[in-house]
Amino acid sequence: MIHQIEGLPENMVGFRATGEVTEDDFEYTVIPNVDELVRKTGKLNYMIILDTSLENYTGGAWVKEALMGLRNFFRWHRAAIITDNERTLKFVKDFSKMMFGTFRGFKRDELQLAIDWTSGKIN
Tens-place pLDDT, residues 34-92: 999 999 999 999 999 999 998 999 999 999 999 998 899 899 999 999 999 999 999 88
Is residue 12 within 8 Å of residue 34, measured between CB atoms? no
CA 119, CA 16: separation in Å to the nearest integer? 17
**pLDDT for the residue 97:** 77
Distances, alpha carbon 30 to alpha carbons 13, 34, 68, 87, 108, in Å: 9, 6, 9, 24, 20
**pLDDT for the residue 12:** 98
**pLDDT for the residue 13:** 98
100 pLDDT band (50/70/90 cuts)? confident
